[in-house]
Chains A and B, each alone.
Chain A
Amino acid sequence: TQLLEQSPQFLSIQEGENLTVYCNSSSVFSSLQWYRQEPGEGPVLLVTVVTGGEVKKLKRLTFQFGDARKDSSLHITAAQPGDTGLYLCAGAPQGGSEKLVFGKGTKLTVNP
């Protein structure tokens, strides 16, 4: 079983602060995806990273895939209350697995 560990589990910060959340595994993934989920809704895809060492930016969000393709990070600059939500990482296991494995998520609260 390939597990994805996310940290921290909970994060509460003030508007304007920066933050980083992590997604780690002992297994290699062919890609990692990040989703954001709001209460009572399904997850929404933010980004997919495929190449080891890859960095992608989405406005104030920066995503990085580890060189060994076992870990990923999400950095948010100048967080806003609208960034509040559950951030989930999901991995496509190496070997062509056709389903995603999800971490437990980081619940982010950005206070005004």
Chain B
Amino acid sequence: DTGVSQNPRHKITKRGQNVTFRCDPISEHNRLYWYRQTLGQGPEFLTYFQNEAQLEKSRLLSDRFSAERPKGSFSTLEIQRTEQGDSAMYLCASSPRTEANYGYTFGSGTRLTVV
């Protein structure tokens, strides 16, 4: 297994466009998390899945954001009508256990720039 894979690594888009990011977790991990990180900040929680079920969404996740994990495998994060404030690193992580104690394996992230 090559770890958590995120695509694309970089995305530049014009304000108002829609973007979609993909995350492929470690295959045996049933927990998948999305975080967002801006410059000088730590990662902020967005949402997480247990298999295909989305169990929690942060209040940071406006109606323009949607995430899916069909069949409990890869996940996608879509941002509609992007705004400059959406510019950030979007991080995906997976974990084999339900307990947060166990630790996450992060992907390399997708850096989004909205111009």
* Chain A residues in the interface with B (C-beta under 8 A): 4, 6, 30-31, 33, 35, 40-45, 48, 50, 88, 90, 92-93, 96-105
Selected from A42, A48, A101, the residue in CB contact (under 8 A) with B107 is A42
Q: Are A99 and B109 in contact (CB under 8 A)?
A: no
Selected from A42, A43, A101, the residue in CB contact (under 8 A) with B45 is A101
* Chain B residues in the interface with A (C-beta under 8 A): 4, 31, 33, 35, 40-45, 48, 55-56, 91, 93, 98-109, 111
Q: Which residue of B lies closest to A50 (CB)?
A: B101
Q: How far is the CA of A97 from the CA of B44 in the complex (A)?
A: 15
Q: Which residue of B lies closest to A103 (CB)?
A: B42
Which of chain B's residues have a CB closer than 8 A to the CB of A45? 103-105
Given contacts A41-B108, A45-B105, contact A98 B43 (CB under 8 A): no
Which of chain A's residues have a CB closer than 8 A to the CB of B106? 35, 42-44
A-B contact pairs, 10 of them (CB 8 A): A31-B100, A35-B106, A42-B4, A42-B106, A42-B109, A88-B43, A90-B42, A99-B48, A99-B100, A105-B41
- Measured CB to CB, the closest approach of chain B to A103, in angstroms, equals 5
Selected from B42, B98, B101, the residue in CB contact (under 8 A) with A30 is B101
Q: How far is the CA of A4 from the CA of B45 in the complex (A)?
A: 14
Q: Are B105 and A92 in contact (CB under 8 A)?
A: no
* A-B residue pairs, 10 tightest by C-beta: A42-B106, A92-B100, A102-B42, A31-B101, A45-B103, A104-B42, A102-B43, A99-B45, A43-B106, A42-B109
Which of chain B's residues have a CB closer than 8 A to the CB of A93? 100
Q: How far is the CA of A45 from the CA of B106 in the complex (A)?
A: 9
